[in-house]
Amino acid sequence: MIDFLFSNNSKTAKFIAIISGIFVFIVGLYASYEDFFNHKVSTGVLLMAIGIMQLCNYFLIPHMSLKDERAKLIKEKSMSISYYFYLIVMLSMLLLIDNPFFAFHLSVREVLILLISIYLVFINLSMVYFSKKV
């Protein structure tokens, strides 16, 4: 059983990625279910983002396990597009929170959870996108 978990086989890695991704996403949904109706951001949102990251890793394992020029190109393009996207997200978050016309009452913890979750999801989704395009 232990050898199965720690082998370098891509089928094993894909199996672990899909199972852990689904499990963590469901746990995140359960953890944030009540807070969603109370208009709060909980740690469950971060767990859902980690679950989405694992599901994206399920698709990325065949592309990233080779360590070739194509994998490097996918990472470079994804990082560069994610950098600009994240700057836009931080600027818009700043404008929304400081705007007197909107009644956003988010704590620093909630803002950080949202920013980290958005970054995790976007960078992995962009890697999946570029793995299909490159």
Instruction: Look up the domain containing 7 and give its range.
Output: 2-133
Q: Which of 61-65, 78-82, 102-106 has the highest mean pLDDT?
A: 78-82
Mean pLDDT of 3-13: 66
Check whether 107 has a pLDDT greater than 70.
yes
The pLDDT tens digits for 108-119 are: 899 899 999 999
Question: Who has greater pLDDT, 52 or 105?
Answer: 52
Other beta carbons within 10 Å of 106: 16
- Count of structural domains within the chain: 1
Q: Evaluate whether 124 touches 56 at the Cβ level (below 8 Å).
A: yes
From the list 74, 80, 23, 83, the residue with the least C-alpha distance to 53 is: 23
What is the pTM assigned to this prediction? 0.85
Distances (CA, A) of 10 to 18, 30, 57, 63, 96: 12, 30, 11, 10, 43
Check whether 84 has a pLDDT greater than 80.
yes
% of residues, the chain, pLDDT over 70: 93
- CA–CA dist 39, 100 (Å, integer): 19
